[in-house]
Amino acid sequence: MVKSLTSHRPLLAVGLKVAAIGLFTTMAAMIKATAEDVPAGEAVFFRSLFAIPVIVIWLAMRGELRNGLVAKNPMGHVWRGVLGTTAMGLTFTGLGMLPLPEVTAIGFATPIFTLVLAAVFLGETIRLIRISAVVIGLAGVMVMIWPRLTGGADIGDTAMLGAILILFATIARAMVQIHIRQLVQTEHTAAIVFYFSATATGLSLLTLPFGWQVPSWNIMLLLIGSGLIGGVAQILVTSSYRFAAASMLAPYDYASMLFAIIIGYVWFAELPTLVMLSGATLVIAGNALVIWRESRLGLVRGKTRPMIDPKGG
């Protein structure tokens, strides 16, 4: 069993969560910076492989290396790996086609799609408030991607494809969340994190014949760094749930937009458009409605175990 919250330390929890979000956004920027040089499958390989030693060291330090990696549902981990790797690959491909803030904003729709899929696959009841949240969130998604789909504002086909890929990546991440809700009933949090990285590393090798390149040293450092940073970020976000409830920490996910705007401008000279910000505001409003409703009902995500949502997978 995963340890329960060690104590209620909200400031520490928020600090860990915000730090994790900053690192995840930095990781995405590093992947974006390599997009012109290496294909998405190769980036997935480095991101997954070099997260493994970070996770193993963390588990060893916690004394969970032996018990934490016991897999009671091996096929459950395989399917989680397939879904997560698909989401990561689509995201990494889309990062090379769209501005970082836009990729981040579309990704905010994951909880909205999770609500819909939970109703379809888990039979969860969606009443008026959650239906309203879904409608508001999906409206925000359409506001963001409509200019891409219609070719407005001199948008090229590459940007259109990028928007579609990120949208499908968001849906795939929602499917991951649904699968994890079932997986955590039998599996240790550490096992879910570790076996995802291991499975994604193996699956990414299947793309080896499709254009992998021998990267230059600076690209290699970015790829390795993305894996190390991603591993550290996952540890921080998992640790944050030991000091506060997930419902309290959920709003801080939106700090990623601030990080994305800053990093996007400084690193890639990207600025968010008014349309994108308007759509993102609607999506965030829909998610905020869900968070409020869950808080009122006491439906804390990961009430017995923290939810695991590795970014990009």
Residue 5 pLDDT > 50: no
C-alpha separations of 143 from 6, 19, 157, 251, 265 in Å: 42, 30, 18, 22, 22
Whole-number pLDDT of residue 308:
53
Whole-number pLDDT of residue 183:
86
Whole-number pLDDT of residue 260:
94
Residue 3 pLDDT > 60: no
Q: Cβ-count burial of 40 within 10 angstroms (0-12 exposed, 13-18 middle, 19+ buried)? A: buried
Average of pLDDT values for 17-39?
Answer: 95
Q: Which of the pair, 219 or 186, is modelled with greater confidence?
A: 219
Average of pLDDT values for 95-108?
Answer: 93
Whole-number pLDDT of residue 7:
65
- Please report, rounded to a whole number, the percentage of residues in the chain having pLDDT higher than 90: 50
C-alpha separations of 31 from 27, 161, 225, 251 in Å: 6, 18, 9, 25
Q: Any idea what DSSP says for residue 303?
A: S
Residue 303 pLDDT > 80: no
Helices vs. strands in the chain: H and E counts, helices first: 14, 0
Residue 91 pLDDT > 80: yes
- C-alpha 266/C-alpha 222 separation (Å) is 17
Whole-number pLDDT of residue 184:
79
Whole-number pLDDT of residue 8:
75
Dihedral over alpha carbons 255, 260, 262, 263 (to 10 degrees)? 130
- C-alpha 138/C-alpha 293 separation (Å) is 18
User: What tokens appear for 185 in the block?
Assistant: 């009933």
Q: How confident is the model at residue 300 (pLDDT cuts 50, 70, 90)?
A: very low
| Range list of H helices, 241-273 | 246-249, 255-268
Whole-number pLDDT of residue 4:
45
pLDDT per residue over 225-283, tens digit each? 999 999 999 889 888 877 877 767 778 888 999 999 999 999 999 988 899 999 999 99
Residue 14 pLDDT > 70: yes
How many C-beta atoms lie closer than 10 Å to residue 120's C-beta? 11
Average of pLDDT values for 183-209?
Answer: 90
pLDDT per residue over 39-54, tens digit each? 999 999 999 999 999 9
Whole-number pLDDT of residue 264:
94
Whole-number pLDDT of residue 237:
86
Q: What is the mean pLDDT of the chain?
A: 86
Residue 83 pLDDT > 90: yes
Domain definitions of the chain by residue range: 10-297
Whole-number pLDDT of residue 239:
83
